[in-house]
Homo-oligomer: A and B are copies of this chain.
């Protein structure tokens, strides 16, 4: 079904598009950061900037939600979707921050892989969220969601192996630091899956 949206509703889609694209931008910067440890400071600052922009979009969505009675989908779904997108970016920012703060040293190949899985997942999140504007393409939106679940499984497997390698030692403090950092990337990937679940439930309600 092709829904006709009023201008006020159109604005929600624009904001969600921006929020999702911003998340993907943050994830790309994180990949750059873990691959270019010498540019850590510059890239961390860029991630922080992207995170601030994300906050502004999240607040605009929340404001509009409070002032708008008729919204393109349930108030609660809009609230949750905006919240989860914001949480992904918070975890991306925390990942970058902890690497710097703990003086954790050169990222491992496992860390690079994890960041790349996250970046891939956020790119599919952009497509899934964009798809919500046109429920005619419900099948395609759900396919994006399946792809996000697939990437989350890959991320799970990779962080499982990354942790195993870390725990082999010999440096327990190094293991402690990187466990914290891996946890933030893994949380960001899990949150992409939460976004997929919210998108799925919106699609199911509207088709």
Q: Which residues of A contact B (CB under 8 A)?
A: 97, 101-103, 160-161, 163-164, 167-170, 172-173, 175-177, 179-180
Contact pick for A172, options B97, B102, B164, B176, CB 8 Å: B176
- Complex Cα–Cα for A167 and B180 (A): 11
A-B contact pairs, 22 of them (CB 8 A): A97-B160, A101-B160, A101-B161, A101-B164, A102-B163, A102-B164, A102-B167, A103-B168, A163-B180, A167-B173, A167-B176, A167-B177, A167-B180, A168-B173, A169-B173, A170-B173, A172-B172, A172-B173, A173-B175, A175-B176, A176-B176, A176-B179
Query: Smallest CB-CB separation from A177: which chain B residue?
Result: B167
Whole-angstrom CA separation of A33 from B179 in the bound complex: 26
Closest to A172 in B: B172
Please indicate the chain B residues that have their CB under 8 angstroms from the CB of A101 in the complex.
160-161, 164
What secondary structure prevails in chain A residues at the interface with B?
helix
- Complexed CA–CA distance, A176 and B175 (Å): 8
Q: A97 — which chain B residues lie within 8 A by C-beta?
A: 160
Chain B nearest Cβ from A27, distance in angstroms: 22
Q: In the assembled complex, which residues on chain B have CB atoms less than 8 Å from the CB atom of A169?
A: 173
Closest 10 A/B residue pairs (Cβ): A172-B172, A101-B164, A169-B173, A172-B173, A167-B177, A102-B167, A175-B176, A102-B164, A167-B176, A167-B173
Further pairs besides A101-B160, A101-B164, A168-B173: 14, Cβ < 8 Å: A101-B161, A102-B163, A102-B167, A163-B180, A167-B176, A167-B177, A169-B173, A170-B173, A172-B172, A172-B173, A173-B175, A175-B176, A176-B176, A176-B179
